[in-house]
Amino acid sequence: MPVAWSALPGWAEDRIEAWWPALLASCARPARAWTDVCARAQLEAPGGDDAVRRFVTTWLRPWRLEATDGSTEGLATGYFEPVLPASRLPTAAFAVPLHRPPADLSARTPHWSRQELETLPAAMASVSGREIAHLAHPLDLLLLQIQGSGRLQVTEPDGRVQTVRVAYAGHNGHPYRSVGRWLIDQGELRSHQASWPAIRAWADRRPERLRELMWANPRVIYFREEALPDPGRGPVGAQGVPLTPGRSVAVDPRAVPYGTPLWIDTTEPLSPRPLRRLVMAQDTGSAIVGAVRIDYFWGWADDALDQAGRMRQPLRAWALWPREGG
């Protein structure tokens, strides 16, 4: 539904210049409706928040997002890019393999489940020799698979340590099942407790049930290794452009096209402070369904896990779209 700019809570308070690089990233792959706006953006270099706000209000128009039932209230969760220690070779401390896709991944649908990959000889043979590196804990592997990408501080056979990125390269075709939901259903955690830190703490208390927890999610994500020449560059999202911490979100692309600026009104997970800012729809995820639904990218800073792992906040959102004839 079209609205006035005054309907966007906190619109005048955002440090909106920080959003500009995310816009330019999306403009590298603009949808047809954005050709003119992106051409103008690539020619301009607005100096300061006021100049960016003038650009946005001149060329775009806000629309309130609503679900198909008319609801304007939705959900904001968070994700991030983990930074994990790893070893190129298996050791006593690093024994959990991270795999490239099996050679026959596309020939078998669905492919082997997580439990089958650990118990059936044929399944184990499909990933034998396809290890990228080895992680310290099964939940480190699950964390990477849930987030879809990560950075490994990997120790090479000669003792060198280098940082590389591992990016999504396919999955086994099984449905994603939340291990947090499984713990709630098992009576191990209450619904308000099912954050990632709480899941990790449960695993530390109940190591005898860790394999059962892992098998509760049959989906397996496979990865490819990438060099990381620029540590300040985010992982590539579903739009095909690098993500910007704090300014990129995952959406349901059936409701919100990639490359759409969104004004979000939510709260921070670790404080009562409002989180109201302009972001770009640049990614998606299997759990992101519906119009008023985002996954907020926290980046890879030290507090990203705490923020993303606890984020489950109420959300309202507005899409900004080029004015007709703009």
Cα 208 to Cα 11, 138, 195, 205, 213: the distances in Å are 50, 13, 20, 9, 10
**pLDDT above 60 for 326:** no
Show Cβ contacts of residue 30 under 8 Å, excluding neighbours closer than 6 positions. Answer: 37, 38, 259
Enumerate the β-bridge partners of residue 312. Answer: 77
Which CATH number among 2.40.240.50, 3.40.50.720, 3.40.1350.10, 3.40.50.12240 corresponds to the domain 82-177+217-226? Answer: 2.40.240.50
pLDDT tens-digit readout, 213-272: 999 999 999 999 998 989 999 999 999 999 999 999 999 999 999 999 999 999 999 888
Report pLDDT for 240. Answer: 94
Report pLDDT for 3. Answer: 96
| Mean residue pLDDT across the chain | 94
Annotated domain spans of the chain: 5-78+238-322, 82-177+217-226
User: How far apart, in whole angstroms, are the C-alpha atoms of residue 95 and residue 141?
Assistant: 11
**pLDDT above 60 for 325:** no
CATH superfamily of 5-78+238-322: RlpA-like domain (2.40.40.10)
